[in-house]
Structure 1
Amino acid sequence: MLFLFNETVFDLGDVDSVLQDGTIPLPPSQFETLTTGHLTLLLREALYVDPMMATNKPERTRHLAALIAFRAPGANALLGVRPGNARGPDDVGLRFANVPMVILTYLWKRQKDGELNPAVINEEVWNRVTENLHSAY
């Protein structure tokens, strides 16, 4: 499974395997009881601390992407933005989307070729799927 987290496309493979590898700091019993509200708070806190976490902490980000895919199976893309004047995690904006696999595959190839940038992502995803966006802001 491919998942777009801000500026990076992650190949999650089998989501359950990613979540069960022991890296994520939650016991498996909490995966089922984690609400979307708690997940949103977790994402906002992580992006508030490090808005570039997809680049700076790819393994942690990969696990968060797997957790999103598990708890919100319709989502395969996240745009998380911390404004420059953010005073706390509540100021971080989140958008989720369900992006067609053909677009994610195209972005994955562009990433592998070193040609993926925010302009390409905005053009291919966020500008095209506005009718499918679900804002958690």
Structure 2
Amino acid sequence: MLFLLNDVVFDLDEASPVTSADARRFEKLGFDYLMELGCELFAEDPLLHRNDPERARRLAWLIHDRSPEVNAALFAAPEFDCDPALVEPRFCVLPEAVLSRLKVKSGKGRLDAVAADRAVWGRMAA
């Protein structure tokens, strides 16, 4: 299962990013809580998906675990250490073909924020 988090495509079928003890600990967390957690994490570091990919992958895994149809998330923070209320979260369901193309593009080093935005989010469109 591929999951797009901002402009990084994670393969969630690889070894689980959380231990079974953590999975049990997290199973009571709802989707709304995970959205707030994501906003807090990206408020601290808007490049979390690049600077701490394991932490970002765990967040992606948790989001997908709570809402299995969701396979893409964007947490847009205006700056480092901003108020979490300023982080704009978005979620969507992408066709597998789109995620596969983005994964290939990523493997070639051509997936960045602009390319992901054009393919999925349309935030920068004028």
TM-score category by the smaller chain? 0.7 to 0.9
* Distance verdict in 2 for CA 1:31–1:81, change over 3 Å: same
* Equivalent position SS for 1:90: helix
* Equivalent position SS for 1:103: helix
TM-score, with structure 1 as normaliser: 0.80
**In structure 2, C-alpha distance between the alignment counterparts of 1:6 and 1:13, rounded to whole Å:** 19
TM-score, with structure 2 as normaliser: 0.86
1:28 aligns to 2:27 (yes or no): no
Structure 1 residues not aligned, in runs of 5+? 128-137
Among all aligned residue pairs of Structure 1 and Structure 2, give the percentage whose two residues are the same amino acid. 36
State the number of aligned residues. Answer: 122
* Equivalent position SS for 1:66: helix
Mapped contact 1:86–1:92 kept (Cα < 8 A): no
Quick one: which of 37, 52, 58 aligns to 1:57?
52
Runs of 4 or more above 6 Å deviation:
none
* RMSD of aligned alpha carbons: 2.0
- State the 1:83 CA deviation: 1.9
* Equivalent position SS for 1:19: coil
**In structure 1, C-alpha distance between the alignment counterparts of 2:118 and 2:7, rounded to whole Å:** 13
